[in-house]
């Protein structure tokens, strides 16, 4: 019980402290209660804005699966989501997306390639409608192994493989590990060498780790897109794309999987020795304005790949498949179809 100065003064002067204690709560006490109520309301409002709980797997799947969506059950029990679309008689082309992305990154390329190729487009472990795996393994080698399992189930012995960013690393890892399965390789702004740019949101404090796990990821997703396509292509950052990526992240288990993925990939093996073993003809495509993986890395790939062709796109950032879809798809189509002409 708190009493006002006047009450305390009155009590000291009159000896009536019992009256103060017996009266209704004093002014300070009432104010403290009001402040507590206001703080509780503000915290509740902040939680409604900041906290975003996980979404049920079924809800995300029903919202984003396509007519050509399929699922393959991997040996560890994981349901791997992939697209199977395009020409049933065409050469199979596997398209592998980048970090915090999904099969949807190829949505501009796919209609341009459907006529010539059978497109196999997986959501990599931790991503999209695949999400968290049973084994909890998210390295490039583990992802390459998942691609191999998918191809085995589809009875596809030899394919073309293309990948962007992290997917580029998975693509060349696959080509190095399973050379007999790859006809031609296409690397679009691929990862592989030590990178001065930070591709993962910082999690160097308990608060940041909590926010990344339970907070609203929308701002980080938008900033990631903005870094990937640059200010000049901000029109590509539509509400639909942002909302879809946010929902994939909030899919039950996916945020935990991305945390594990970041830990597992903190130290990656050197690229040059493995790249040097790749015999598949390789097309390297790069935007000269890439803010995520510098264009100087294109020269490193050209140096270490034994059989490559290099294309640098002026004024393009990290995602040519979205920024210049027709030009980049046509360049890749010409490179891949040349394999048929060479036979």
Verify that 80 and 106 share a domain, yes or no. yes
Centre a 10 Å sphere on the Cβ of residue 97 and count the other Cβ atoms it contains.
26
**Integer Cα distance of 74 and 319 in angstroms:** 29
Radius of gyration in angstroms for the set of CA atoms belonging to the chain, rounded to a whole number:
27
Domain ranges, residue 218: 57-342
Verify that 151 and 30 share a domain, yes or no. no
CATH number (domain holding residue 164): 3.40.50.1820
How many DSSP H helices and E strands does the chain contain?
A: 15, 8
Verify that 237 and 95 share a domain, yes or no. yes
- The confidence score (pLDDT) of residue 211 equals 64
- The confidence score (pLDDT) of residue 36 equals 56
Verify that 132 and 161 share a domain, yes or no. yes
How buried is residue 311: exposed, middle or buried, by Cβ count under 10 Å (0-12/13-18/19+)?
middle
Dig out the tokens for 248 from the structure: 């994939």
Which residue, 50, 71, 87, sits at the end of a domain?
Answer: 50
Verify that 332 and 285 share a domain, yes or no. yes
- The confidence score (pLDDT) of residue 209 equals 66
Verify that 119 and 23 share a domain, yes or no. no
- The confidence score (pLDDT) of residue 231 equals 78
Verify that 171 and 44 share a domain, yes or no. no
**Sheet containing strand 182-188, strands side by side:** 69-73, 79-86, 117-122, 91-96, 159-164, 182-188, 282-287, 308-313
Q: What is the pLDDT along the chain (343 residues), one digit of tens a residue?
A: 444 444 444 444 444 445 544 455 555 666 666 665 545 444 444 444 577 799 999 999 999 999 999 999 999 999 999 999 999 999 999 999 999 999 999 999 999 999 999 999 999 999 999 999 999 999 999 999 999 999 999 999 999 999 999 999 999 999 999 999 999 999 999 999 998 775 555 555 666 565 666 788 898 899 999 999 987 778 899 999 999 999 999 999 999 999 999 889 876 777 889 999 999 999 999 999 999 999 999 999 999 999 999 999 999 999 999 999 999 999 999 999 997 655 5
Verify that 81 and 28 share a domain, yes or no. no
Verify that 25 and 79 share a domain, yes or no. no
Verify that 10 and 62 share a domain, yes or no. no
The total number of structural domains that make up the chain: 2
Verify that 22 and 166 share a domain, yes or no. no
Verify that 261 and 334 share a domain, yes or no. yes
């Amino acid at each position: 019980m708190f009493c006002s100065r006047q009450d305390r003064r009155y009590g000291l002067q009159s000896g009536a402290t019992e009256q103060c204690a017996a009266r209704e709560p004093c002014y300070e006490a009432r104010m403290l209660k009001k402040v507590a109520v206001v703080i509780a309301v503000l915290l509740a409002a902040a939680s409604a804005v900041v906290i975003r709980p996980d979404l049920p797997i079924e809800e995300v799947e029903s919202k984003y699966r396509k007519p050509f969506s399929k699922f393959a059950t991997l040996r560890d029990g994981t349901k791997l989501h992939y697209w199977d679309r395009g020409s049933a008689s065409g050469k199979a082309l596997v398209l592998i997306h980048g970090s915090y992305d999904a099969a949807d990154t190829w949505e501009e390329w796919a209609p341009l390639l459907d006529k010539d190729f059978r497109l196999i487009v997986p959501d990599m472990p931790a991503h999209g409608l695949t999400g968290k795996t049973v084994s909890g393994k998210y390295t490039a080698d583990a992802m390459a192994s998942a691609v191999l399992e998918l191809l085995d189930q589809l009875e596809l012995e030899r394919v073309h493989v293309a990948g962007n960013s992290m997917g580029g690393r998975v693509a060349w890892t696959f080509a190095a590990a399973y050379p007999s399965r790859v006809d031609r390789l296409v690397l679009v702004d691929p990862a592989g060498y030590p990178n001065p740019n930070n591709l993962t949101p910082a999690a160097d404090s308990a608060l940041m780790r909590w926010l990344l796990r339970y907070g609203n990821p929308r701002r980080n997703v938008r900033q990631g897109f903005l870094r990937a396509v640059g200010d000049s292509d901000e029109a590509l950052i539509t509400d639909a794309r942002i909302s879809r990526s946010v929902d994939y992240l909030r899919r039950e288990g996916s945020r935990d999987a991305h945390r594990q993925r970041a830990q597992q990939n903190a130290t990656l093996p050197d690229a040059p020795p493995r790249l040097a073993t790749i015999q598949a003809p390789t097309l390297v495509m790069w935007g000269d304005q890439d803010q995520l993986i510098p264009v100087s890395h294109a020269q490193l790939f050209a140096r270490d790949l034994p059989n490559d062709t290099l294309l640098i796109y002026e004024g393009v950032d990290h995602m040519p498949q979205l920024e210049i879809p027709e030009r980049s798809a046509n360049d890749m189509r010409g490179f891949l179809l040349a394999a048929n002409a060479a036979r």
